[in-house]
Structure 1
Amino acid sequence: MKNFKYIKLVMAALLLGLSVNSCMDDDWDNPTGDIPPYGNNDLQETNVVTIAELKDMYSFALQEQTDTARITENVQIKARVTGNDVGGNIYNQIAVDDGTGALLICINFGGLWSYLPVGQEILVDLKDLYIGTYGNQPQIGTPYTSNSGYTSPSRMSHTLWNEHFKLLGEADASKVDTLEFDMSKVDDTEYMEENCGRLMVVRGITLPQANGERTFAPADAATSGNAVNRMVSGTTKLVVRTSTYADFAGTAMPEGKVDIVGIFTRYRDTWQILMRQDGDFKQAE
């Protein structure tokens, strides 16, 4: 019996050594650290389409309110990250934009900001992922059906995501454009369809609920989806939506005219500004 236990210990040690060597091989082969430790580095650009073209290809799925569509073509998109979970207000999602349009990618993983910072360009292989909408907001992910029977693209596993994307170069936030939101088009359906999901700034608005003390998202507020909507003066079609888990949830809303930057998503026919971090709002000049 003692000999058997000894043999088992020796075999375990050998297997552990092999495992460590296997894990270290990539580092030894790449001592400079040029190969990113995230994503699928074997992906090559083969059939890249723009986000606008992708939306045209799957327009039937983006108009449908109760289902998603599996992407069956060998197509890819190449885009830059414009929003992530760095401030806790965007949860298990990143926003990407390629200049022709934007969408959200749903990933079941925290700390996405650590390797997908704003300005990081990525190649995404879309085959066998799903496209559709949540509240009319275009998203990529895997299907989730709610108790009410509504199916939308939701969070894919981190393992699946790692198979479908590749980091391209170093992050460069200077290459990310922040578009000016046109308040005169807040009710314009075509404008919303073209720009929902994009990084934008709205200038000179006021938050009527701001009184110098009231915060963006108090933990004890009656919420929908653990988030609080704050109205914008002069319209019912634009809100500032803040998670009760956001780093700046307890920050007092600024009084007077303010400029607010964020990912401008939509929920049906209402714009929702998702600020990414503290500092995405300031007093208007």
Structure 2
Amino acid sequence: MNRHSIYALVLSSLIGIGAASCTKYNEVDPPRLDLQHQEELPLPTHTISQLKALYKSGGVQINKPIVISAVIASDDSEGNLYKSCYIEDETGGMELKFALGNLSSIYPQGTRVRLLCHGLQLGDYAGQINLGYTSKEEKYETAFYPELLVYRTLLKEGSSELKPRDLTIATLSKQYAGTLIRLQEVQFLSSELGQTYADPQGKDKNRNVNRTLVDRSGRLLIVRTSSYAKFAGHTLPSGSGDVTAILTYFRDTPQLLILREQDVQLTRARF
């Protein structure tokens, strides 16, 4: 064996040792970003509404192999949603408190998933049931589920056509909480025209800002926007039209969570 062959062999061995050393200290295998094979996926056992019905005051840790088949309803690409996502099925929707930044780059809106709930925690925040991790803080019933574990819990099933539910302010209901809706025939209050969605310059003080939509009958609805959103400093549109967003509730108060600025289609004349 000549000198160059010996050098190549030694180098190859060192690379192999380095790779093995890296693998040894990885607690979680690298995520599979390809779609799961259908035959590998566990069968669904519950709907979202059935899962939420298991909640009890104080929080409930799930110790059974509960599996949900659902669709990713949210999109965090414009920063109005952070380390959370929303899933929905035909029975309703809910928030997953998963500490994975840029989650929609891996699970885009419309991705059909199987959610493995064993080990997760059902909790309540301001009247809305969510799913996350067991919290060490007594004031919260759930914490954020660790980023590296999300891939083991949220399995890709494929893609699905996600259509928002067409609603009006008058027909909003908690049964649609956590789902994607399209709100028809609304506009921002005249008193708010010229203002921005949120406050990017003062985001340390005003992390979220409320604006108000109104319909033809004078019914009002809050639009809550993070001052960290990419469109936070953009001026509110002055026209009327439709808004597609996630419907949330703070206790009994409905709110809209806009995902992308393009989902605000207020392009018609004001009424």
Structure-2 separation of matches of 1:139 and 1:38: 27
- Other-structure match for 2:79: 88
Structure-1 separation of matches of 2:255 and 2:18: 51
Does residue 157 of structure 2 align to residue 157 of structure 1? no
Which residues in structure 2 correspond to 1:191-270 (within 5 Å)? 191-192=173-174, 194-208=175-189, 209-211=191-193, 213-220=194-201, 226-233=207-214, 234-235=218-219, 238-270=221-253
Per-residue CA deviation, residues 229-270 of structure 1 (Å, 9 max, x unaligned), is 11233345x210111111111111112423211111111111
Per-residue CA deviation, residues 17-75 of structure 1 (Å, 9 max, x unaligned), is 5569999xx99xxxxxxx9437987963245211122122x1x43xx3xx211012211
Secondary structure of the structure 1 residue equivalent to 2:243: strand
- Other-structure match for 2:126: 135
| Residue 84 to residue 11, structure 1, CA distance change in 2 (3 Å) | same
The one-letter code of the counterpart of 2:151 is N
What value does the CA root-mean-square deviation take over the aligned residues? 3.2
| Residue 245 to residue 207, structure 1, CA distance change in 2 (3 Å) | same
Return the offset for 1:160: 2.1
| Residue 19 to residue 136, structure 1, CA distance change in 2 (3 Å) | same
Return the offset for 1:219: 2.2
Checking the alignment, whether the CA contact within 8 Å between 2:133 and 2:143 is kept in structure 1 is yes
- Other-structure match for 1:180: 166
Per-residue CA deviation, residues 186-232 of structure 1 (Å, 9 max, x unaligned), is 4xxxx31x111010011122221432x31100224588871111123
Checking the alignment, whether the CA contact within 8 Å between 2:79 and 2:230 is kept in structure 1 is yes
Does residue 57 of structure 2 align to residue 55 of structure 1? no
| Residue 151 to residue 240, structure 1, CA distance change in 2 (3 Å) | same
Structure 1 stretch 152-161 or stretch 87-96: which is displaced more? 152-161
Does residue 94 of structure 2 align to residue 97 of structure 1? no
Which segments of 5 or more consecutive residues in structure 1 lack a partner in the other structure? Answer: 1-8, 28-34
Structure-2 separation of matches of 1:267 and 1:123: 27
- Other-structure match for 2:7: none
Structure-2 separation of matches of 1:38 and 1:244: 34
Checking the alignment, whether the CA contact within 8 Å between 1:39 and 1:165 is kept in structure 2 is no
| Residue 106 to residue 54, structure 1, CA distance change in 2 (3 Å) | same
| Residue 163 to residue 38, structure 1, CA distance change in 2 (3 Å) | farther
Secondary structure of the structure 2 residue equivalent to 1:113: helix
Per-residue CA deviation, residues 127-153 of structure 1 (Å, 9 max, x unaligned), is 11011221122211013355xx42232
Structure-1 separation of matches of 2:125 and 2:206: 13
- Other-structure match for 1:37: 33
- Report percent identity of matched pairs: 23
Secondary structure of the structure 2 residue equivalent to 1:150: coil
The two structures have a TM-score, normalised by structure 1, of 0.77
Secondary structure of the structure 2 residue equivalent to 1:144: coil
The one-letter code of the counterpart of 1:136 is G
Secondary structure of the structure 1 residue equivalent to 2:256: strand
The one-letter code of the counterpart of 1:200 is I
- Other-structure match for 2:112: 121
